[in-house]
């Protein structure tokens, strides 16, 4: 039987009706990590979409900017219970990046510098639901938050928004990425509280 | 204590608490079931809110030996969850759940046969487990020569100041990085490889070295020690950090 | 945020597996080096704890605490060696 520490409440934030179940608001932006922070400069960064035929669609930093960077305002929800509302981001829509990609596969594995992976159904990346993000809160993405670019998929728990993104690889079935292999839900919808297996 | 000390959960009571520095407290816990601990060990403190929410953090134990009195020195991380509670709210008489003793690597166990000197290097609150080692050295029948190099911001940030100055078997060198005492011969400044070389045992005597503090401090100092010719296998490190 | 080391996982290992991890020597399943697990790099946050090989950075251990169970993934460790009790 645990000893109750009188007066201890933890650092839990406020609640809000716009929050999914089990989430609280925070003022800061916590950094969670599973490994060393990669040191990738924009000048050396590339992003690749690889299909089942081995075809590679690649963008370097300038090419990404040329596709068209848009402003996004969105809420983000971390599986560790914190959320931020109305966060300002800038990024390139995956719809634009997938325009000329031919694939019959329905799932993707997102791969990051440093080895992190996360899986998603392709349909969760399209229809205005996902971006390759380069700025957050008015500033270029810092190293610790995934700079120079990360995936942004705000309708799913934020572990799906892979930092230091470098490749999206098409796959025929939904195979688990890093956290999904270690107890976290394959899809991670915060509104259905899909946190764990 | 020759057999391995198994870790388990214990309930302790705060027997005494006092301000250690402007941002830290010293907590003396009475833990009736504590089996004793080696110098350098740590324990996990777990706090439970009335709605069941729990948070657990690690703290080094400043005391050692076969005793049920466990001493902690907790520095407050303002954005932390646990340390502000321990520093500001935990009162004498309160109960506290602790898990330990933990750690079999970053410990100093006195021995008749080990004669090589022991070099302790502390960055900030990393001094806690190293103080435990130096304090244990005071009354152990061991012959190893001990030195403690303690890097700290200002004289007001020194942990166990009185106890450190009373140590007779450990040479203590305190290096102030931001502000030194008025009569200090050295101006404040961070440790450098050269100044470390000036304080620590030379590699020729093959000291056993313990380095503890924030990760950047530990990694920088350990790197220097290797450059100064010390065997990496003789350098034990414990990195402090985390979310407080 | 920087990393810690294997010392930081002593409590988690003792609690879930009853092992004193800092007394163990492990072999990385990737680069095959042997080292004291206290020297491995630990990344500990609310989402989970990850222990990585200090040499090749490959994952050795992942520990995730869910509400009613703890998941321990040791697949990156080729083996663990400890002194006999």
pLDDT at position B3, please? 59
What is the per-residue pLDDT for B112?
A: 77
Q: What domain range is B19 assigned to?
A: 8-102
Fold for the domain defined by A24-29+46-192: Sulfite Oxidase; Chain A, domain 2 (3.90.420)
Q: Considering CB atoms only, which of C43, C47, C73 is closest to A35? A: C43
**Which of B45, B71, B102 is the last residue before a domain boundary?**
B102
Interface test with A, best of B10, B32, B33, B50 (most A CBs within 10 A): B50
- Distance in angstroms (rounded) separating the CA atoms of residues B145 and B114: 11
Is this complex scored with an ipTM above 0.90? yes
Does the structure show a pLDDT above 60 at A133?
yes
Eight-class DSSP state of A122: G
Interface check B52 vs C, CB under 8 A: no
The number of distinct structural domains making up chain B is 2
Put simply, the answer to whether C5 touches B238 (Cβ < 8 Å) is yes
* B236 lies in the same domain as B151: yes
Is C85 in Cβ contact with B241 (below 8 Å)? no
Q: B23: distance to nearest CA of chain C, Å? A: 21
- Per DSSP, the residues of B37-80 read B-BT-EEEEEEE-TTS-EEEEEEEBS--BS-SEEEEEEE--TT-
> What's residue B27's pLDDT?
98
Sorted by where each begins, the domain ranges of chain A are 24-29+46-192
Note the pTM of the prediction, 2 decimals.
0.94
CA–CA distance, C75 with A197 (Å, rounded to integer): 19
B155-185 per-position pLDDT tens digit: 999 999 999 999 999 999 999 999 999 988 8
Question: A58 to chain B, minimum CA–CA distance in Å?
Answer: 36
First to last CA, chain C: 37
What is the longest distance spanned by two Cα atoms in chain B? 58
For C28-77, the pLDDT digits (tens) are 999 999 999 999 999 999 999 999 999 999 999 999 999 999 999 999 99
CATH number at residue B74: 2.40.30.10
User: Does B83 share its domain with B172?
Assistant: no
Q: Which chain B residues contact residue C15 at CB under 8 A?
A: 7, 99
The predicted-structure confidence for A40-59, as pLDDT tens digits, reads as follows 999 999 999 999 999 999 99
Residue B56 counted as domain residue: yes
* CB distance A126 to A86 below 8 Å: no
User: Judged by CB atoms within 8 Å, which residues 141-200 of B form the interface with C?
Assistant: none
CA distance C3 to chain B (A): 7
A58 C-beta neighbours (distance < 10 Å), count: 11
Strand pairing category for A165-171 and A46-50 = parallel
Residue C47 C-alpha, separation from nearest chain A C-alpha, in angstroms:
6
Could A31 and C52 be called an inter-chain contact, meaning their C-beta atoms sit closer than 8 Å?
no
pLDDT at A1 over 70: no
Q: Do the beta carbons of residue B118 and residue B106 sit within 8 Å?
A: no
Calculate mean pLDDT across residues A127-143: 98
Is the Cβ pair B106, C7 closer than 8 Å?
A: yes
**β-bridge mates for residue B74, sequence order:** B25
Domain boundaries of chain C, sorted by first residue: 4-81
Q: Is B199 at the interface with chain A, CB within 8 A?
A: no
Q: What is the pLDDT of residue A170?
A: 98
Question: Which chain C residues are Cβ-neighbours of B238 within 8 angstroms?
Answer: 5, 7, 38
Flag residues of chain B having pLDDT under 70: 1-3, 142
In a domain, B112, yes or no: no
Task: Using the structure block, give the residue that is written with the tokens 């915060």.
Answer: A190
The CA-based dihedral angle spanning residues B179, B125, B57, B130, taken in that order and rounded to the nearest 10 degrees: 180
DSSP classification of residue A172 = S
A&B contacts, CB < 8 Å: 43
Query: Cα(B105)–Cα(B101) distance, rounded to whole angstroms?
Result: 12
Residue B68's alpha-carbon distances to B10, B11, B31, B102, in angstroms, are: 11, 11, 5, 15
């Amino acid at each position: 039987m645990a000893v109750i520490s009188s007066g201890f409440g933890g650092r839990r934030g406020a609640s809000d009706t716009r929050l999914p179940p089990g989430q609280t608001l925070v003022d800061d932006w916590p950094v969670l990590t599973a490994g060393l922070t990669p040191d990738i400069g924009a000048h050396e960064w590339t992003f690749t979409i690889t299909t089942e035929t081995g075809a590679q669609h690649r963008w370097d930093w300038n090419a990404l900017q040329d596709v068209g960077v848009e402003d996004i305002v969105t809420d983000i929800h971390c599986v560790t219970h914190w959320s931020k509302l109305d966060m300002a981001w800038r990024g390139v829509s995956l719809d634009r990046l997938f325009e000329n990609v031919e694939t019959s596969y329905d799932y993707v594995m997102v791969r990051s510098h440093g080895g992190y992976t996360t899986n998603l159904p392709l349909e969760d990346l399209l229809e205005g639901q996902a971006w390759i993000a380069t700025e957050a809160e008015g500033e270029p993405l810092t190293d610790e938050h995934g700079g120079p670019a990360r995936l942004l998929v705000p309708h799913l728990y934020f572990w799906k928004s892979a930092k230091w993104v470098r490749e999206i690889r098409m796959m025929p079935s939904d195979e688990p990425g890093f956290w999904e292999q270690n107890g976290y839900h394959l899809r991670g919808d915060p509104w259905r509280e899909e946190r764990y297996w | 204590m020759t057999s391995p000390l198994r870790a388990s959960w214990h309930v302790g009571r705060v027997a005494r608490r006092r301000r250690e520095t402007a941002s830290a407290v010293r907590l003396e816990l009475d833990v009736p079931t504590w089996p004793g601990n080696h110098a350098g060990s740590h324990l996990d403190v777990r706090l439970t809110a009335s709605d069941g929410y729990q948070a657990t953090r690690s703290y080094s134990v400043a005391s050692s030996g076969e005793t049920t009195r466990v001493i902690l020195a907790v520095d407050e991380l303002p954005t932390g969850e646990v340390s502000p509670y321990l520093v500001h709210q935990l009162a004498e008489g309160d109960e506290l759940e602790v898990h330990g003793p933990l750690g079999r690597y970053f410990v100093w166990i006195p021995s008749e046969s080990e004669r090589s000197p022991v070099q302790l290097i502390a960055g900030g609150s990393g001094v806690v487990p190293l103080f435990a080692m130096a304090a244990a050295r005071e009354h152990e029948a061991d012959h190893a020569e001990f030195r403690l190099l303690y890097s700290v911001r200002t004289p007001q940030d020194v942990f166990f100041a009185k106890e450190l100055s009373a140590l007779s078997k450990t040479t203590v060198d305190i290096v102030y990085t931001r502000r030194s005492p008025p009569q200090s011969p050295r101006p404040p400044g961070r440790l450098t490889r050269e100044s470390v070389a000036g304080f620590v045992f030379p590699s020729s005597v093959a000291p056993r070295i313990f380095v503890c503090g924030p990760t950047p401090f530990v990694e920088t100092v350990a790197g220097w020690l290797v450059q100064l010719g010390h065997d990496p296998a003789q350098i034990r490190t414990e990195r402090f950090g985390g979310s407080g | 945020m920087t990393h810690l080391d294997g010392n930081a996982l002593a409590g988690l290992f003792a609690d879930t597996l009853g092992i004193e991890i800092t007394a163990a020597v492990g072999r990385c399943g990737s680069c095959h080096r042997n080292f004291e697990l206290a020297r491995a790099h630990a990344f500990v946050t609310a989402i989970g704890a990850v222990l990585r090989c200090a040499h090749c950075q490959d994952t050795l251990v992942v520990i995730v605490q869910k509400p009613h169970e703890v998941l321990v993934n040791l697949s990156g460790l080729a083996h663990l060696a400890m002194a006999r009790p």
